[in-house]
Amino acid sequence: MNKAFTRERDDADEEESVTAAPPAGGKNYITPQGYARLRAELMQLIDQERPQVVEVVHWAAGNGDRSENGDYLYGKKRLREIDRRIRFLTRRLEIAEVTDPSVHHGRDQVFFGATVTYAEPSGQERTVTIMGIDEADSAQGQVSWISPIARALLKAHEGDVVKLATPAGVQEIEVLEVSYPAPGAPG
């Protein structure tokens, strides 16, 4: 069968929608800075990258045999990737609920956007910042608000001991410090 009539599997599209899906209820909490980053990426794809690739594909299509034309084949594949990312970002931004953590500045209760220092049973202290699904970066100490640690910490106050379900069993962790960015400060 001619390759032109077969459909490539787009597992990445399915994977993105499964791994980054908000919980039931459909809320996708995100900080203003995270929303701005996603929107900037979307605009860059739509306004710059996609038109450049379309131009290359158009040029390559005019060069004759498309079946052996690397520029054409790669360009079409890249267009599919860009379009998939545009669809994903558009869906995420549509359901995004922008929440400014600085409104809680000065409070000692854990809400979205809090930076929390807690002590594990071993005595080791850890610090995490509770962020949106699409902006959390574990390498930076940021966790998604739907992660087990964030769910255990949410609504706790400084000094509270909360239960955290882990693969090794339930642990009790103590909330040591809660802080939020100052109003007007970059997140």
Report pLDDT digits (tens) over 85-94.
Answer: 999 999 999 9
What residue numbers bound the domain in which 75 lies?
Answer: 27-98
In this structure, the answer to whether residues 175 and 141 fall within a common structural domain is yes
How much is the pLDDT for 14?
44
In this structure, the answer to whether residues 93 and 108 fall within a common structural domain is no
Listed residues 76, 98, 120: the one ending a domain: 98
Q: Residues of the chain with pLDDT > 90: what percent? A: 63
CA angle 112, 123, 115 (to 5 degrees): 15
In this structure, the answer to whether residues 64 and 83 fall within a common structural domain is yes
pTM for the predicted model, two decimal places: 0.76
Report pLDDT digits (tens) over 43-72.
Answer: 999 999 999 999 988 888 887 777 777 888
CA angle 142, 143, 145 (to 5 degrees): 130
pLDDT at 73 over 80: yes
pLDDT at 128 over 90: yes
